[in-house]
Amino acid sequence: MTNTLLILPGDGIGPEVMAEVRKVIDWFGAKRGIAFDVSEDLVGGSAYDTHGTPLTDATMAKAQEVDAVLLGAVGGPKYDKLDFSVKPERGLLRLRKEMDLYANLRPAQCFDALADFSSLKKDVVAGLDIMIVRELTSGIYFGEPRGIIKEGNERVGINTQRYTESEIARVARSAFELAKLRGNKVCSMEKANVMESGVLWRDVVQEIHDAEYPEVELSHMYADAGAMQLTRWPKQFDVIVTDNLFGDLLSDLAAMLTGSLGMLPSASLGAPMANGRPKALYEPVHGSAPDIAGQGKANPIACILSFAMALRYSFGQGDEAARLEAAVEKVLADGLRTADLMGPDGGTPVSTQGMGDAIVAALDAAL
């Protein structure tokens, strides 16, 4: 089966970090016999500069056809005054919406070499490896009615939290399937104590568990209590599944437990295609960082680890994903540090390119 991949470097540091991913892709083709049919296109500000739109219909069509999309980052201050309809971020949102990528996977993994970078005590975060599954295409960000209206002499802002049973069920199944590959444990978070949508969420997750995944350990927790527990003892969790709003908040909280936003990948998955693979978009959690673009300061690890997620979830290469993750861990253990990782313990400073080269060298050395 041919592995097809669309690369969208985007804006700011996106092209720089993606160049290092291309080295890794080439390595897997040359040294592991895993070939990829790679195409590349524009998204975000770069697409607007060329085409007057953050995502062309042709690029959208390509994204629908390939096995996976790998995106760098979008946006920057130069686009702040654009009309909302053509801002760079609209390109990313269109990809998510039209590909129907309903399950957002945000791992929070703390490499031992970086445990001191967290604001929490080292013993609390060292070895942390949790996955937050956020529902991505419904909930309060999309519910109707919404808007700002006038009532009497004042304005009123309205957003509606809305979920159907099927929307909850499909993201719950994604979480349970992931848990089977990990620690076999899911914690579902909502606010069933004050929100009817939370009551439905809890009911449906429990129903899916009882009917289809009784072998997976399931617990329920209110989302505010979940935030507290994430900072108290995060290693109690394996997979957390939650709605769009709470997932947005909790995944950012979990990200900072690891000490560096520049280290974290993500995946957004949809329904299986004809070949059985889910529609998928992979991207680093960090932004476009235009202030350091072109200076060789960007950390490519989050984008490289996003490709590792693609190996695991889109291309059925879990062992090779683990190989790549081990190479990243080895380089960090050896003390190599991009600018964002330079801390009080020092380390060997490397450029964006230097970090990519070191990871490829570590892959070679492990053969």
Beta strand pairing call for 103-109 and 129-135: antiparallel
How much of the chain, in percent, has pLDDT values that exceed 90?
A: 84
Q: Which two tokens stand for residue 364?
A: 């070679």
| pLDDT of res. 257 | 87
Q: How confident is the model at residue 16 (pLDDT cuts 50, 70, 90)?
A: very high
Mean residue pLDDT of the chain comes to 94
CA distance 263 to 279: 24
| pTM exceeds 0.85 for this model | yes
Mean pLDDT calculated for residue range 178-196: 96
Q: How confident is the model at residue 274 (pLDDT cuts 50, 70, 90)?
A: confident
Instruction: Convert the pLDDT of each residue in 307-349 to its tens digit.
Output: 999 999 999 999 999 999 999 999 999 999 998 887 766 789 9
Contact present, 17 and 298 (Cβ < 8 Å): yes
Q: What angle do CA 177, 183, 185 make, to 5 degrees?
A: 70
Contact present, 234 and 108 (Cβ < 8 Å): yes
Contact present, 242 and 134 (Cβ < 8 Å): yes
Mind listing the domains of the chain with CATH numbers?
1-110+260-367 (3.40.718.10), 129-257 (3.40.718.10)
Burial 104-131 (b: 16+ CB within 10 A, else e): bbbbbbbbebbbebbebeeebbbebbbb
68: nearest Cα among 266, 275, 281: 281
Residue 1, pLDDT > 70, answer no
Q: Residue 158: beta bridge partners?
A: 147
Q: Measuring CA to CA, how many Å separate 358 from each of 37, 274, 285, 352?
A: 25, 38, 22, 10
CA distance 78 to 36: 34
Contact present, 238 and 201 (Cβ < 8 Å): no
Give the residue ranges of DSSP H helices in 79-185.
88-98, 122-125, 165-181
The set of catalytic residues is 141, 191, 224, 248, 252
Phi, psi values for residue 135, rounded to 5°: -65, 135
Q: What is the DSSP letter of 277?
A: P
Q: Measuring CA to CA, how many Å separate 238 from each of 12, 63, 115, 247, 255?
A: 33, 31, 18, 15, 14
Burial 249-287 (b: 16+ CB within 10 A, else e): ebbebbbbbbbbbbbbbbbbbbeeeeeebbbbbbbbbbb
